[in-house]
Structure 1
């Protein structure tokens, strides 16, 4: 495991870094609008892809929810589960598809417990991935709001009760 990948073992630090990056990117919204989202996507995508790949093994889904999944990329699950874990988690916490690999969702849950700000979001139901956004900068899809548009036919999460609420 490389030095940068070891950062995953520090989700509280990554959560703070995410918050700072989110604020910085949000503050760039006026500039991004002026230069155009497509052009900004081309400029930002390379750096975003490199940083997220070396730290999180990112798959560039275009709808990043790292902050909601313990700073663990759910797309690294062999089943690409956006909500997990599946029913096939082994007794030792490993994946049924890749038995030598710890379940991504077990890792996500463990890491989320160390995150004071976004840790509880592990309990939120996530919409399925919009595959049309693959390869796009998640920061640009966030600024445009397209990352929050559910795929056609998806029942909105507002109709599903939150765990613990009646």
Structure 2
């Protein structure tokens, strides 16, 4: 799991911010062309780049900017909300001892990310498996990455108690 993202999180954060702005600026044009058509054009390039830079697992709900540019799907347990508690003393994974814990890397990277680094503590919803192998960029533009499947509780309606309230 030694990816480019581990060495240059600040650069990637700025690149993500620019790409996100460009995507939203192009959204009216993309909508006119058709999200499905554009997805067929951009998905191969998205997959190629994200696999090599981040070890992307094609979940369709990319939250790299919120997780220190460390893909939580790299975690053998697919945890999207922080370490499991099985992190070894050397910062490695309990399931794959040869691998650094995704969340240790996320924490270290977030410290170098002034724009989105604070989002590391945000609670993320579980992965919507119906979005696997779809474009995370298109899902962001259409809002599909924020949709809550039937039977799920929206993340906003879950009460979280802060340390000061305990």
TM-score by length of 2: 0.92
* Cα distance in 2, alignment partners of residues 43 and 162 from structure 1: 44
Distance in structure 2 (CA, Å) of the matches to 1:165 and 1:148? 29
- Measured against aligned partners, the alpha-carbon deviations of 1:55-103 in whole angstroms (never above 9, x if no partner) come to 0011111000000000011001111111120021111111011001110
Moved over 3 A (4+): 162-166
Q: 1:131 is matched with which residue?
A: 129
Within the alignment, does 1:99 sit opposite 2:107 as a pair?
no
The match for 1:156 is 154
> 83, 87, 90: which is aligned to 1:89?
87
2:45 to 44, 47, 51: 47
Going from structure 1 to structure 2, the CA distance change for 1:133 and 1:116 (only over 3 Å counts) comes to: same
Classify 1:93/1:156 alpha carbon distance in 2 versus 1 (closer, same or farther; 3 Å). same
Cα–Cα, structure 1 residues 85 and 7, in superposed 2: closer, same or farther, change >3 Å?
Answer: closer
In the alignment, which residue of structure 2 is the partner of 1:67?
A: 65
Secondary structure of the structure 2 residue equivalent to 1:46: helix
Quick one: structure 1 residues 32 and 162, their matched pair in 2 at CA, closer, same or farther if it must change by over 3 Å? farther
Could you tell me which runs of 5 or more consecutive residues in structure 2 were left unpaired when the two chains were aligned: none
Unmatched runs of 5 consecutive residues or more in structure 1: none
TM-score (norm 1): 0.92
**Which position in structure 2 is the counterpart of 1:147?**
145
